[in-house]
Structure 1
Amino acid sequence: MIRSQLSAVLLATATGTALLVAAPTASAAPTHRCYDRMACFYYNSNQQGALATIGDGGYNLDAQVFKPGSGPGAGQKLEDQAASWDSRTRSTGYCVHRDRWWKGPFNSLKPQARKNLTSALKNKNSSTNWYPRHEGGGGH
């Protein structure tokens, strides 16, 4: 009787250990999140769908791609495909422009904010730059 109880306890312990060892592997997949000091663009409105991240600075978006496996729109080019965005910067906001090289209408996003792109820029976005460059009529 004691031997069978001991065997049951050892089996349960071995099974639990095997499950604990296997669990971290399952959670090691990329999270596709917007991290500190990044601007993130989303394929769909309300920060949904595929994600594309931009670091500090100005970019033309023609070479940027929505991350594979991050949702609807994954693998497609970012340019003229984003519907919403998120700024994870601490003190600097971003502007997104309709045209390349920071030309045309733009939409600004303050630090630590997220929103849908305006109707003038939704799926019509080609470049991004830091927000303060627009304050006081400064341009780029």
Structure 2
Amino acid sequence: MGTFDKILTTAAVAMVLGGTVLATASPASAATRNGVCEAGEFCYYFNSNNQGSVSDFTGSVGDYGTRQPSCFDFKGPGAGKGKCIKNAAASVWNRSGKTVRVYFNSNYGGSVYQDFAPGAKGNLKAGLKNQNASHQFGPSSSARVNMSYALYKTGGGYISCGFDGYVHTSGRHEGIDIKRSVGSDVH
């Protein structure tokens, strides 16, 4: 084996070993579900006024589960520790940098929900207290708005050709056309 081959082999081994070390190392900033409400987390409390056991999250959860050992549970010390959080939380503290929405139904559903801005602490409203089934970080930030019911609809206008997102393909429309009747006010 020549000198060049030895260098290549050594470099390849170093990359493989280095990659293995990097793959197994966890980021220092990554929070764990440890029952302590830390910066960057959204936390449920078993009791009102941020009392009792805590269940902490760093992301959205569509279904908490209802039975041990597979459910999301209250981890911190105090009343409720070890209980599944679905339909059992009374208050929250949003220590994340995003608005978090708590839903009545699993998979971010139902007409009953409550938003908590970054830094907000509070009790869940009557329709959600002990009725929480999912939560979502930053809901609706990328949701599409049905323009069929926008301002122009009430003035007799409508969208004649929708916007498809700046796709530069021949024959595709690159804007929004709004038609209004003759004599309509322009806003």
Q: TM-score scaled to structure 1, two decimals?
A: 0.68
CA distance in 2, matches of 1:53, 1:112: 14
What is residue 47 of structure 1 aligned with on the other side? 50
Whether contact under 8 Å (2:50, 2:93) holds in the other structure is yes
CA RMSD of aligned residues (A): 2.1
Give me the whole-angstrom Cα distance separating, in 1, the residues matched to 2:79 and 2:141. 32
Q: Distance in 1 between matches of 2:142 and 2:124?
A: 19
Aligned counterparts of 1:135 and 1:46: Cα–Cα separation in 2: 32
Cα deviation, residue 57, structure 1: 2.6
**Runs of at least 4 residues off by over 3 Å:** 134-138
Correspondent of 1:61 among 51, 61, 64: 64
In the alignment, structure 1 residue 102 sits paired with structure 2 residue 108: yes
TM-score by length of 2: 0.52
Query: Higher relative contact order at CA 8 Å, sep ≥6: structure 1 or structure 2?
Result: 1
1:76/1:110 CA distance change after superposition, 3 Å: same
Aligned length: 106
Q: Name 1:18's counterpart in structure 2.
A: none
The unaligned stretches of length 5 or more in structure 2 are: 1-33, 66-70, 146-187
Aligned residues with identical type, % of pairs: 28
Gaps of at least 5 residues in structure 1 are 1-30
* Distance in structure 2 (CA, Å) of the matches to 1:137 and 1:43: 35
* Alpha-carbon spacing, 1:122–1:108, altered in 2? closer, same or farther (3 Å): same
Contact 1:108 1:131 in 2 (8 A): no
Q: Which has the larger radius of gyration?
A: 2
Partner of 2:36: 33
- CA distance change for structure 1 residues 137 and 96 in 2, over 3 Å: closer, same or farther? farther
Does the residue aligned with 2:140 lie in a helix, a strand or coil? Answer: helix
Distance 1:106 1:137 in 2: 19
